Structure 1
Amino acid sequence: MLGLPKTTEFNKRIPKQKFYENMDISPTLKKIFVEQVKIIYWRNKIAASTTNLAPGNNVTELEVFEVRLNNPVLDENLLKQIDKEISYHILFLLEYQGKYQAWIGYKEATISGNNAFKVNGYYHTEWLPVDELPLKLEGLNVDAVYENFVRQIAGNKLNTQNDCESLKESVERDEQKQALQKQIATLQAKVRKEKQLNKQMQMNNELKKLKKKLEEM
């Protein structure tokens, strides 16, 4: 898949029961597994041992999981739970009726260590034929391949004119932008409901400041 080297192919079907029986998940997540997921395949393992890439400092292996769905919507919390339980980085390929979405999160080890990871959120593509997914194996080591996959899937959201900006910094900047956009939308809704002119003017001044801050980011 994705034109990845033959040496990375694994193509092992993993019964979904193995996930929800061996993970500490809530009844709600188990229900999502049962109702939304049809089949899970472990398609590829991208590592120094399966490619001519150098090992990464932060990413030792990058797994490619194909998740075939019963409907075109999957709860993001399910992907997050799988990511938290598996100590390797994961590229998810969601499949529904022959079309695919690529999903990937910025995943990093927690300060506590113990193979514990956190994923704040995910970037994903639109539904596309598999050969149109914007994914290319680029980089000299596994860290770089992972970073490029994240940036390829995120597209304009992580674009930067600062060549020195790390992936972590790009993701944090995007999260700050999203928080600011929510703040602006909330304030705009309040302005529309406010009857008093002086309060409207105060809120509009605050809106201008927030919008300027967003532009500067």
Structure 2
Amino acid sequence: MLGLPKTTEFNKRIPKQKFYENMDISPALKKVFVEQVKIIYWKNKIAASTTNLAVGSEVTELEVFEIRLNSPVLDDGLLRQIDREIPYHILFLLEYEGKYQAWIGYKEAAASGNKAFKVNGYYYTEWFVEDELPLKMEGLNIDAVYENFVRQIAGDKLSTEKTGESLKESVEREEQRQTVQKQIEALKAKIKKEKQLNKQMEMNNELKKLKRELEEI
């Protein structure tokens, strides 16, 4: 799958019950496992031991999980829960009726340590047949392979316009952009409802500032 080396193939089916029976999850999330997920496979293990790649300083292993679905919709809370529980970086391939969607989170060690991870958010592709997924293993170490998968999946959202920008910096810039975009949309809605002209003018000035800020991010 994805043209990954045969040495990375694991192809182990993991009963979904193992996830919700061994995790501290809410009844709602257990329902997601039961109703939305058909089968979970651990397809590949990308590591220095399974490839000719060098060990990464941030990413020690990159797992590829295939999740076969009962419908083309999955609550991403399920992916987040799996990511929290498994101390490795994970590329998720969702499958439904022969089409695939790749999901990956920007995952980093939590400040508390204890091998804990936090996932800031997820990036995902459109649905493709397997051979057309826009993913390719590139890089000289596991860190670089992970970063390239994130950037390939995120596409324009994490464009490398700024030379030398790290993945973390790109992710933070995108989060900042989304925050300002939400502020702009909220302010536009307030302007539409505002009846007083002087307040409309004040808010329009604020809107212009936010739009300039968005352009500068």
Over the matched positions of the two proteins, sequence identity in percent amounts to 81
Cα deviation for residue 47 of structure 1 reads 0.1
Q: Counterpart of 1:163?
A: 163
Q: Please report the RMSD computed on the Cα atoms of aligned residues, expressed in angstroms.
A: 0.6
Q: How many residues align?
A: 217
Q: Counterpart of 1:122?
A: 122
Cα deviation for residue 130 of structure 1 reads 1.0
Q: What secondary structure, in the 3-state scheme, does the structure 2 residue paired with 1:42 have?
A: strand
Q: Counterpart of 2:189?
A: 189
Q: Counterpart of 1:80?
A: 80
Map 1:61-140 to 2 at 5 A: 61-140=61-140
Q: State how far apart, in whole Å, the 2-side matches of 1:161 and 1:38 are.
A: 40
Q: State how far apart, in whole Å, the 2-side matches of 1:132 and 1:201 are.
A: 49
Map 1:8-87 to 2 at 5 A: 8-87=8-87
Cα deviation for residue 99 of structure 1 reads 0.6
String of CA shifts for 1:81-124, please: whole Å, max 9, x gaps: 00000000000000011111000000000111111000011000
Q: What secondary structure, in the 3-state scheme, does the structure 2 residue paired with 1:200 have?
A: helix
The residue type paired with residue 162 of structure 2 is N
Q: State how far apart, in whole Å, the 1-side matches of 2:163 and 2:132 are.
A: 27
Structure 2 unmatched runs, 5+: none
Which runs of at least 4 in structure 1 moved beyond 2 Å after TM superposition? none
String of CA shifts for 1:57-80, please: whole Å, max 9, x gaps: 010000000000001110011100
Q: What secondary structure, in the 3-state scheme, does the structure 1 residue paired with 2:128 have?
A: coil
Q: What secondary structure, in the 3-state scheme, does the structure 2 residue paired with 1:118 have?
A: strand
Q: State how far apart, in whole Å, the 2-side matches of 1:210 and 1:19 are.
A: 43
Give the TM-score of the pair, scaled to structure 1: 0.99
Q: State how far apart, in whole Å, the 2-side matches of 1:13 and 1:37 are.
A: 13
Q: State how far apart, in whole Å, the 1-side matches of 2:185 and 2:23 are.
A: 38
Q: State how far apart, in whole Å, the 1-side matches of 2:53 and 2:32 are.
A: 36
Structure 1 unmatched runs, 5+: none
Is 1:178 the counterpart of 2:178 in the alignment?
yes
Q: Counterpart of 1:145?
A: 145
